[in-house]
Chain A
Amino acid sequence: MSAGASGRRLFGLLAEFRSPEELLQACRQIRDAGYRSWDAHTPFPVHGLEAAMGIRHTVLPWLVLCGGLAGALGGLLLQWWTNALDYPLIVSGKPLWSLPANIPVAFEMTILLSAVTAFFGMFALNRLPRFSHPAFRSARFRRATTDGFFVTIEADDPRFDVEGTEQLLRSLGASAVEWLEDEED
Chain B
Amino acid sequence: MSSLSGQGAGKAYWRSLEDLAGSVELRALAEREFPEGVAEEPATSRRDFLKLMGASLALAGATACRRWPVERIVPFAHRPEGYVPGEPVQFATAMDLAGAATGLLVTSYDGRPIKIEGNPLHPSSLGGTDPLAQAALLELYDPDRSTAPLRIARGQQIASSFEDVERFSRELFRQLRERRGEGLRVLSEESSSPSLREMRSRLLRALPAARWHEWEPLTRDAAREGAALAFGRPYRSWLLLDRADVIVCLDADPLMTEPGAVRYARDFARARRAEGGRMNRLYAIEPALSITGASADHRLALSRAAVALVAGRIAAELFLRCGLPLPGGAEELRHALERFERHPFRPPLVTDIVRDLLAARGRAVVLAGPGQPPAVHALVHLLNAALGNAGRTVAYAPDPDPERESHAESISALARDAGAGRVEALLLLGGNPVFDAPADVDFAGALGRVPHTIHLSLYVNETSRACAWHVPRAHFLESWGDARGHDGTLSVVQPLIEPLYDGRSPIELLAHALDDGVTSGYDIVRRTIAPALGGGDFEKGWRRVLHDGLLEGSAWAAETPSPVRPTWAPALAALAEADPSAGPGRVELVFARDLSVYDGRFANNGWLQELPDPITRVTWDNPALVSPSTAAELGVGTGDLVRIRAAAREAEVAVFVLPGLPAGTMTVSPGYGRRAAGRVGDGVGFDVYPLRVGRALWRAEAEVVPTGRRWPIASVQDHHLIDVLGMKERGRRAVRLIREGTLADFLDHPGFAKQARGHEGELPQLYRPWSYEGHKWGMTVDLSACIGCGSCTIACQAENNIPIVGKREVARGREMHWIRVDRYFSGTADSPEVRFQPMTCHHCENAPCEQVCPVGATLHDHEGLNVMVYNRCIGTRYCSNNCPYKVRRFNWFDNHRGLGPVEKMVFNPEVSVRSRGVMEKCTFCTQRIEAARAEAKKQGRPLRDGDVEPACAQACPTEAIVFGDLNDPGSRVRRLQDHPRAYGVLEEIGTRPRLKYLARLRNPAGSESGRA
Contact = CB atoms under 8 A, between A and B. Distances in A.
Chains A and B come from one and the same complex? yes
Interface residues of A, number: 9
B859 A89 contact: yes
Contacts of A90: 770, 859-862
B861 A93 contact: no
A171 interface: no
Contacts of A58: none
Contacts of B861: 90
A127 interface: no
A119 to B, nearest CB: 28
A91 B851 contact: yes
Contacts of B768: 95
A132 interface: no
B862 A92 contact: no
- Looking at chain B's contact residues, the main secondary structure is loop
Contacts of B769: 93
A94 B859 contact: no
A93 B859 contact: no
Nearest to A98: B767
Contacts of B860: 89-93
Contacts of B862: 90
Contacts, number: 34
B847 interface: yes
A89 B856 contact: yes
A101 B860 CA distance: 18
B407 interface: no
B94 to A, nearest CB: 45
B848 interface: yes
Nearest to B859: A89
A95 B992 CA distance: 16
A92 B856 contact: no
Interface string B739-783: 000000000000000000000000000011110000000000000
Most chain A beta-carbon neighbours within 10 Å: one of B767, B769, B861: B767
B856 A93 contact: no
B856 A95 contact: no
A92 B852 CA distance: 9
Interface in B852-893: 856, 859-862
Nearest to A94: B767
Nearest to A93: B846
How big is chain B's contact interface, by range? 10 to 19
Contacts of A92: 846-848, 850-851, 860
A91 B857 CA distance: 10
B212 to A, nearest CB: 66
A133 to B, nearest CB: 48
A98 B859 CA distance: 17
B1003 to A, nearest CB: 39
Nearest to B770: A93
A94 B992 CA distance: 13
A98 B851 CA distance: 12
Nearest to A89: B859
A103 to B, nearest CB: 15
Nearest to B992: A93
Nearest to A100: B766
A94 B851 contact: yes
Contacts of A91: 850-851, 856, 859-860
A95 B767 contact: yes
A94 B861 CA distance: 13
B352 interface: no
Contacts of A98: 767
A95 B851 CA distance: 11
B701 interface: no
Nearest to B858: A91
Contacts of A94: 767, 846, 851
Interface string A89-126: 11111110010010000000000000000000000000
Interface string A53-91: 000000000000000000000000000000000000111
B903 interface: no
Contacts of A89: 856, 859-860
Contacts of B258: none
Contacts of B846: 92-94
Contacts of B767: 93-95, 98
A101 B854 CA distance: 13
Contacts of A95: 767-768
A91 B967 CA distance: 21
Nearest to A87: B856
B216 to A, nearest CB: 55
Nearest to A82: B856
Contacts of B399: none
Interface string B199-219: 000000000000000000000
A95 B769 CA distance: 9
Nearest to B766: A94
B845 interface: yes
A101 B845 CA distance: 18
Interface string B837-851: 000000001111011
Interface in B948-1002: 992
A89 B846 CA distance: 13
B576 to A, nearest CB: 66
Nearest to A95: B767
A92 B990 CA distance: 11
A94 B856 CA distance: 13
Nearest to B848: A92
Interface string B256-300: 000000000000000000000000000000000000000000000
A95 B771 CA distance: 11
Most chain B beta-carbon neighbours within 10 Å: one of A92, A94, A95, A98: A92
B704 to A, nearest CB: 54
Interface string B358-399: 000000000000000000000000000000000000000000
A181 to B, nearest CB: 60
B860 to A, nearest CB: 4
B994 to A, nearest CB: 11
Interface in A127-174: none
A106 B468 CA distance: 79
Contacts of B992: 93
A92 B883 CA distance: 12
A79 to B, nearest CB: 13
Contacts of B770: 90, 93
A125 to B, nearest CB: 38
Nearest to B768: A95
Most chain B beta-carbon neighbours within 10 Å: one of A90, A93, A95: A93
Most chain A beta-carbon neighbours within 10 Å: one of B768, B860, B862: B860
A19 to B, nearest CB: 58
B908 to A, nearest CB: 27
A92 to B, nearest CB: 4
Given A93-B860, A94-B767, 14 more contacts: A89-B860, A90-B860, A90-B861, A91-B850, A91-B859, A91-B860, A92-B847, A92-B848, A92-B851, A92-B860, A93-B769, A93-B845, A94-B846, A95-B768
Interface of B: 767-770, 845-848, 850-851, 856, 859-862, 992
12 contacts: A89-B859, A89-B860, A90-B859, A90-B860, A91-B850, A93-B767, A93-B770, A93-B847, A93-B860, A94-B767, A95-B767, A101-B851
A-B pairs with lowest CB-CB distance, top 8: A90-B860, A92-B851, A93-B846, A92-B850, A91-B850, A93-B845, A89-B859, A93-B770
